[in-house]
Amino acid sequence: MQLEGKSILVTGGTGSFGKQFVRTVLERHQPRKVIIFSRDELKQHEMLTGGFDDIRLRYFIGDVRDVERLRRAMDGVDVVVHAAALKQVPACEYNPMEAIMTNIMGGKNVIDAALDAKVGRVIALSTDKAVNPVNLYGATKLAAEKLFVQSNAYAGANGTRFSCVRYGNVIGSRGSVIPLFLKQREEGYVTVTDRRMTRFWITLEQGVDFVIRCIETMRGGEVFIPKIPSMQMMDLVEVIAPGVEVRDIGIRPGEKLHEALISEDEARQAVELETMYVVQPAHAWWTTDVIAEGKPLPADFRYTSDSNTDWLTPDRLRDFIHGLGVTL
């Protein structure tokens, strides 16, 4: 499915991903309409007055917890990108019911509304924290992944198809470590939870481009994972705050030393393509011709941030950060 001439709804449309997705789609894909669905009227106002005033945009105030509002918003929609979530690990740990209501029940509501509206394609954003989760945020995203994959069975002949995209930390997004380090270095120090830590990294633009590519190729039931580099936390410190005092504060509740994008168990259902991996659902109803050229993964394969073969050196990290318009 090409996005030209389509009506697209983005939940969480005022977030970092949502704004970049909207910008990219308007500039490159000529949609008929883009609906920005979010619950914060101030962020919508700031987005509108901050340059997002295209005639093709619609600002829809609503919460993914409200299925009736979602049904109204999805009337006539062709594609849904589900990016709304509570994603701050400490906040989800402290407010578990809220995380479940938004990330799991909100996902269910998106699915129900999309089925009722006969939306063509729905793609949900997930995270590396959904693999072998150790915190509630990861657990809610794992549950949401299962909901979206299995909902293809509910769609039946309806034609609505559901898939997921799973990737790692987004460089420079709201709440990420770069803004934190930049602020801390002004005070003469940076805080590190564990010096051995590694993370997957992807730019906002790469994440958006990957999601669009997956919308165009999905058949329903897949979890798409891009091939992205890893980085060492101390390399990031060296790039952003060289010579600054490093304070060790200890690993936080629900935090891992290393993240995973594909577990060994999932690898049995996954295939490798040139720029991505695709985890296929283990259900008899699932068929596809998209991944016919995919290469099966070795039995002991796992895709983790510490075993990755692609690493961001300090020089590559510096280029990435300069690309964000940040002066080091």
The pairing of beta strand 260-262 with beta strand 303-304:
antiparallel
Neighbours of 225 (CB within 10 A): 27
Question: Tell me: the pLDDT tens digits for 149-198?
Answer: 999 999 877 789 999 999 998 886 766 788 889 899 999 999 999 999 99
d(CA 37, CA 77): 12
CA distances from 198 to 133, 257, 260, 295 (A): 16, 7, 10, 27
User: What architecture does CATH give domain 7-168+202-228+261-304?
Assistant: 3-Layer(aba) Sandwich (3.40)
129 catalytic? Reply is yes
Indicate if the alpha-carbon torsion angle 186, 192, 198, 200 is positive or negative. negative
Reported as a single tens digit per residue, the pLDDT across 57-94 is 999 999 999 999 999 999 999 999 999 999 998 899 99
Task: Tell me what the mean pLDDT of segment 201-205 comes to.
Answer: 92
**Cβ partners under 8 Å of residue 107, min gap 6:** 64, 82, 124, 143, 144, 147, 148
Which of 6, 19, 87, 129 is labelled catalytic? Answer: 129
- Confidence class for position 253, pLDDT limits 50, 70, 90: confident
Beta strands in the chain (DSSP E): 7-11, 33-38, 57-61, 79-82, 121-127, 161-167, 169-170, 189-192, 198-202, 223-226, 230-232, 245-248, 260-262, 270-272, 276-279, 295-296, 303-304
Helix axes 177-185, 233-240, angle to 10 degrees: 40
Give the pLDDT band of residue 291 (cuts 50, 70, 90): low
pTM: 0.94
Residue 145 · residue 265 · CB < 8 Å:
no
Task: Please determine, for residue 282, whether its predicted confidence score (pLDDT) is greater than 90.
Answer: no
- Domain limits, the chain: 7-168+202-228+261-304
What pLDDT score was predicted for residue 294? Answer: 84
Name which of 251-260, 283-292, 318-327 the model is least confident about: 283-292
Answer yes or no: are the C-beta atoms of 308 and 299 closer than 8 Å.
no
Share of the chain above pLDDT 70, in %: 96
Is the pLDDT assigned to residue 137 strictly greater than 80? yes
Report the distance separating Cα 271 and Cα 299, nearest Å. 11
Where do we find the tokens 């007055």?
Answer: 49
The pair phi, psi for residue 186, each rounded to 5°, is: -65, -25
DSSP three-state, residue 49: helix
46-68 residues labelled b (16+ CB within 10 A) or e (exposed): ebeeeebeeeebebbebbbbebe
The per-residue pLDDT for range 21-67, each reduced to its tens digit, is: 999 999 999 999 999 999 999 999 999 999 999 999 999 999 999 99
Section 137-152 average pLDDT: 97
